[in-house]
Copies of this chain bind each other. A is one copy, B any other.
């Protein structure tokens, strides 16, 4: 067996960052032992054929700290997060599972509030929880509550969304402002206060994605949508790096086009954090044929959660497998995927 880094004999927070240490662990350990044609694709959700139907299947565990924060809670995050993983394969989510690991001593009122948030998020998304499991561990053996959700979605025939389809000339679209979730969690955890209203962007994205797909289908151009990805852990820069790497294309983005809320920008500057590396929980990147980009943006903007959608760049062949950020001042830099873990337990 290849140990990811022989100088590290223990799991560190970096291995859960969603950045390069995570990828190394997954590739050198999990894929080494669990090799499977579907798993090996390493998408946010597996897409598999079950009796002639294409199903998407995804899982995500949520360990966010704090469990309640401006704009949401671990409950909403758990529902929206797995729905979004399914949506990023172009799937229509049909049902979810809910697995709770609770630390002995969690207050009933807190648990009730979380379950109410889960129920609210399910109703809003129109995706039900159909099966569940609850474990309780002794005090000190977990941190209040951890939630796993898994989900099943249906992928319509003709939908083929995969980084492998990314081509030179494609436009890079973003559904709104970045870094809201990560900065909200960080500042509420540390008890920092910033001018303006910081709040998590947690929301379900499947209706917007279905809107795009429905619109493209009408004009018989569904194949124009090449890739979708939600920039969660590691943020926009890490997600684009992964897409660049798996497509061997170059992602060129224009920093000044990327929407960032004023209080988020202020918080990032004060803390010395780059908003392109901060987690989002209600945004996605779409990569599509350039000639369809404007009409896709129009559809995205027709949804409240996509009203700030914008084209942020294009796919080229200048630096294959890399991300180029054109800065406001006219310069440019290469963006690497996240390596360290600046923000543990962000989701």
Cβ of B10 and Cβ of A136 under 8 Å apart?
A: no
Stretch at the interface among A23-31, A180-188, A326-334: A23-31
Q: How far is the CA of A34 from the CA of B149 in the complex (A)?
A: 14
Cβ of B9 and Cβ of A99 under 8 Å apart?
A: no
Q: How far is the CA of A170 from the CA of B311 in the complex (A)?
A: 66
Within 8 A of B (CB), among A36-59: 36, 38-39, 43, 45-46, 48, 50-51, 53, 55, 57-59
Contact among B8, B55, B63 with A137 in the assembled complex (CB-CB below 8 Å): B63
Cβ of A59 and Cβ of B150 under 8 Å apart?
A: yes
Cβ of A57 and Cβ of B136 under 8 Å apart?
A: no
Q: How far is the CA of A3 from the CA of B113 in the complex (A)?
A: 12
Q: Is A143 close to B, CB under 8 A?
A: yes
The main secondary structure of chain A at its interface with chain B is mixed
Q: Which residues of B contact A301 (CB under 8 A)?
A: none
Cβ of B136 and Cβ of A12 under 8 Å apart?
A: yes
Within 8 A of B (CB), among A102-135: 102-109, 111-112, 115-116, 118-119, 122, 128-135
Cβ of B344 and Cβ of A138 under 8 Å apart?
A: yes
Q: How many copies of this kind of chain does the complex include?
A: 2
Known contacts A108-B9, A115-B30, A115-B34; A57 and B154 CB within 8 A of each other: no
Cβ of A344 and Cβ of B137 under 8 Å apart?
A: yes
Q: How far is the CA of A138 from the CA of B12 in the complex (A)?
A: 8
Cβ of B345 and Cβ of A132 under 8 Å apart?
A: no
Q: Which residues of B contact A135 (CB under 8 A)?
A: 16, 61-63, 345
Q: Which residues of B contact A150 (CB under 8 A)?
A: 59, 97, 99, 148, 150
- A109 (CB) vs chain B CBs: closest residue: B9
Q: How far is the CA of A142 from the CA of B141 in the complex (A)?
A: 5
Q: Is A146 close to B, CB under 8 A?
A: yes
Cβ of A137 and Cβ of B9 under 8 Å apart?
A: no
Q: Which residues of B contact A146 (CB under 8 A)?
A: 101, 137, 142, 146
- A98 (CB) vs chain B CBs: closest residue: B59
Known contacts A26-B134, A107-B9, A134-B26; A33 and B141 CB within 8 A of each other: no
Q: Is A13 close to B, CB under 8 A?
A: yes
Cβ of B38 and Cβ of A130 under 8 Å apart?
A: yes
Q: Is A11 close to B, CB under 8 A?
A: yes
Cβ of B108 and Cβ of A61 under 8 Å apart?
A: no
Q: How far is the CA of A345 from the CA of B101 in the complex (A)?
A: 11
Q: How far is the CA of A112 from the CA of B63 in the complex (A)?
A: 22
Q: Which residues of B contact A154 (CB under 8 A)?
A: 50-51
Q: How far is the CA of A34 from the CA of B129 in the complex (A)?
A: 7
Q: Is A15 close to B, CB under 8 A?
A: yes
A329 to chain B, nearest CB (A): 37
8 pairs of A and B residues whose beta carbons are closest in the complex: A16-B136, A59-B97, A150-B150, A148-B148, A46-B130, A46-B131, A33-B119, A38-B130
10 intermolecular pairs with C-beta atoms under 8 Å apart: A13-B138, A26-B134, A38-B130, A48-B130, A50-B152, A53-B53, A59-B99, A59-B133, A63-B101, A135-B345
Measuring CB to CB, which residues of chain A are less than 8 angstroms from any residue of chain B? 1, 3-4, 8-17, 22, 25-26, 29-30, 33-34, 36, 38-39, 43, 45-46, 48, 50-51, 53, 55, 57-63, 65, 94-95, 97-109, 111-112, 115-116, 118-119, 122, 128-138, 140-143, 146, 148, 150, 152, 154, 344-345
